[in-house]
Structure formats: C-alpha cells, structure tokens
Amino acid sequence: MKPATLRDVAAAAGVHPGTASRALNSATQNLVNRGTVARVIKVAAELGYQPNPIARSLKTSKTGTIGIVIPDLTNPFFPPIVRGIESILEPAGYSGLLVSTDGDLSRERTQVAALRARQVEGLIIATALLDHPLLEELGDMGVLTVMVNRRPHLTNAPSVIPDDAAGIRLAVEHLASLGHRRIAHLAGPANTSTGVARARAFQDAVADLDLVSDPRLIVTCKAWNEDAGAHGLRELLATSSDFTAVVAGNDLIALGCYDVFAERGIDCPREISVVGMNDMPFLDKLRPPLTTVAVPHRQLGEESARLMLDLLREPDRPIRSVTLPVSLVVRASTAVVSDMNIAARDRHR
C-alpha cells in the first residue's frame, strides 16, 4: 500500500487538508484549535504519515539541502570537516549534498551546476583557490556561499579557516628552540590562500626569530600531496642542502619528505627535522611519529555550517569570518641540532 498523504490524514481526521497541514507544521500550529491539532497528529501517527519533502520543496522552493564541495573525500583532511558540517546541519533540519571535484576546475563546475539544479539553498566550499572564477560567478548569481579552510581574494563570502600564521609560527618557534637556524619551508601551492598565508607566516617567523632567511630555503609545491612534497624536498636538497629542518605546508607534504628520507637513507630527525600541519589521523604511528600542528578539522566544519545557517536565517546580518586556534603537537620527527646535521649537510650536498 502506498504511503499516506496529507489528504489521507485530513480525511481520516475529518478536517480539510489545509488544516491538517497547519496542525502538523509547528510554525502554524498555534493557528489551529488545540483539540484539532492533537487529533490530526494522532491520526497522522496512526497512518504512519511522512510528509513528502519533494512536494513541500516544490511549493516553498526550499529544499533543506546544502551543497558541500570538497576536492577529494579520500584525503583524510576532509571527512572530519564533513562530519562537523553535518553535525550542525542535521539538527537544524538541513542535510548536506556532498560532491568531490578532484581538484579539477571543470569538474567542479559541472558538480556545482548539478548541485544548483538540485536546488541547494547554499554551498559550503572547501576547494577555493585564491582567484577563483567560479566563486565570483556564484557571488554574482546570489548563491549563498561559505568557504571552509580557504579564504580567497576578491570575495566577501564568509569563511572559516585555521590560524595558519599562528600554526607556522608555533612550528618555527619549536624548531628554533631546538637550536635550528637554517629552516626550510615546503610551501603549499601559490594559488591557495593557505599556501601563501603559511609561506608568508614562515618568512615573518624566520625574521622575527632572527633565523637565517634565504629565499632558496623556500620551495613551493605544486599540490598538497605526497608526490609534490617529495618533489619539493628533492629540489631543496639539490639547491641548498645546508638546512637542518623543514616546515611542511601540510602533513601530506611532510609524508612526501618521509619518502625521500627513505629513498636517500636520510635519518629523520637526527639529520633533518620535519614538522607537518593538520595532524591528520595515524601520524603517531609513522616512522618517526610526525610533529605537527593540530587544526580543529571538525570544528572547521561545524563553524562553516553555523555560518551557513546564519546566512539562511538572517540574510541581512553582516557577514563575518572566523579563524580557529591551532596547537603544536610535538612527536618524534623533530630533534635538537647536533653534529649529525652537520655531517648530513656534507653527505647530501
């Protein structure tokens, strides 16, 4: 037998469908006689009535869905963000529609179009580039958007990001306290806000702490992954091997360094110290356990969902962006400088 409709409920309760609708909807319940409300609710329960959200959407042109755009679900950075988003959306009666772009702009375009076709009420975007054509279009089209983990130029959409500058400073200070003076930075891609913010923070920290500032010590990786990290470190080793530590743009880049360590027999941390960023899962079980900067992934998601909900509920409220605090997690990929480092310098030069 087919699922009960509002009409069935109304008929069984002896009222008009309109009345049944009001009785079942908490916002309009107070316009209906108490007794009637009770009766309708009771009948609805008996019939196992479930409102059809499709029909409601068609009428109200509200779907109760938010699009979530991430590069790749397979990157451990994103699942906690997604969970965070959904943990806030769900109790608010919204649900998320997830798409992966694989970092491909054209795929992103079609995915976003599909989301729009499905009438999402807003978009939470984790794939933003510093200059992102699609974002501008979205802004022009009046699509509600919040950025998570990235803060692009030229858009005043709300965003929530970790405190990149503080994180990098924590990393550099940690290394400096261990006696490192020539510290390298494997920066993330220059077209991402996180990439440039972290690189800038690195330079500032190096300057403030009076460490060696040498442009050859900063290499920009093409992507936020292991391959790019490995590539970056090889480049660094080729041009200037006299550094004793590296601050990686993120954990995956740091893992790329591990690959190079293995391939060249470099002893981490005795020859080179590394610190990552993000504190993704299982880092404590690596060889060696990776020192990193923990960013509150889940909270990143939660805050972005809250921002979205605010946007939906109070469209006129001035937009705001939030920055979340980070913390240093010291493990075993960083150590005090020693003669080993000096020896390594010559060996790998």
Partner DNA sequence: CTGAAAGCGCTAACAA
Partner DNA sequence: TTGTTAGCGCTTTCAG
List the one residue from 5, 47, 51, 331 that touches its own copies (CB under 8 A).
51
Q: How far is the CB of 50 from DNA (least distance, A)?
A: 7
Contact between 17 and DNA per CB under 7 A: yes
- Interior angle at CA 262, CA 256 and CA 267, nearest 5: 105
Q: How far is the CB of 32 from DNA (least distance, A)?
A: 4
Beta carbon nearer to its own copies, 114 or 343: 114
Q: How far is the CB of 283 from its own copies (least distance, A)?
A: 9
Distance linking the first and last C-alpha atoms of the chain? 77
Tokens of 128: 């933003």
Contact between 281 and its own copies per CB under 8 A: yes
Q: How far is the CB of 115 from DNA (least distance, A)?
A: 16
Q: Is the peptide bond before 288 cis (omega within 30 degrees of 0)?
A: yes
Please tell me the distance from the alpha carbon of residue 39 to that of residue 47, in angstroms, as a whole number: 12
Those residues whose C-beta lies under 8 Å from the C-beta of residue 209, and which sit 6 or more positions away, are 172, 173, 176
34 binds, among DNA, its own copies, none (CB under 5 to 8 A by kind): DNA
Please tell me the distance from the alpha carbon of residue 245 to that of residue 340, in angstroms, as a whole number: 12
334, 273 Cβ separation under 8 angstroms: yes
Q: How far is the CB of 114 from its own copies (least distance, A)?
A: 7
Contact between 36 and DNA per CB under 7 A: yes
Beta carbon nearer to its own copies, 35 or 265: 265
Residues binding its own copies: what is the number (CB under 8 A)? 38
Tokens of 167: 């994180």
198 binds, among DNA, its own copies, none (CB under 5 to 8 A by kind): none
215, 230 Cβ separation under 8 angstroms: no
* DSSP H or E segment with residue 95: strand 95-100
Contact between 100 and its own copies per CB under 8 A: yes
**Count of residues for the chain?**
349
> Residue 177: which of 212, 215, 209 has the closest Cα?
209
Contact between 76 and its own copies per CB under 8 A: yes
Please tell me the distance from the alpha carbon of residue 146 to that of residue 99, in angstroms, as a whole number: 15
213 binds, among DNA, its own copies, none (CB under 5 to 8 A by kind): none
Radius of gyration of the chain (CA): 26
Please tell me the distance from the alpha carbon of residue 217 to that of residue 167, in angstroms, as a whole number: 19
Contact between 6 and DNA per CB under 7 A: yes
282, 276 Cβ separation under 8 angstroms: no
List the one residue from 74, 177, 213, 239 that touches its own copies (CB under 8 A).
74
List the one residue from 31, 38, 105, 114 that touches its own copies (CB under 8 A).
114
Cα 178 → chain centroid: 31
Contact between 26 and DNA per CB under 7 A: no
Q: How far is the CB of 307 from DNA (least distance, A)?
A: 25
Please tell me the distance from the alpha carbon of residue 180 to that of residue 172, in angstroms, as a whole number: 9
156 binds, among its own copies, DNA, none (CB under 5 to 8 A by kind): none
| Ranges within 118-157 binding its own copies (CB under 8 A) | 118-119
| Ranges within 57-96 binding DNA (CB under 7 A) | 58-61
Contact between 282 and its own copies per CB under 8 A: yes
Judged by CB under 7 A, which stretch of 29-37, 161-169, 248-256, 326-334 contacts DNA?
29-37
Please tell me the distance from the alpha carbon of residue 260 to that of residue 272, in angstroms, as a whole number: 11
Beta carbon nearer to DNA, 19 or 291: 19
Chain contacts with DNA (rule: CB under 7 A): 2, 5-7, 14-19, 21-22, 24-25, 28, 30-37, 49-52, 55-56, 58-61
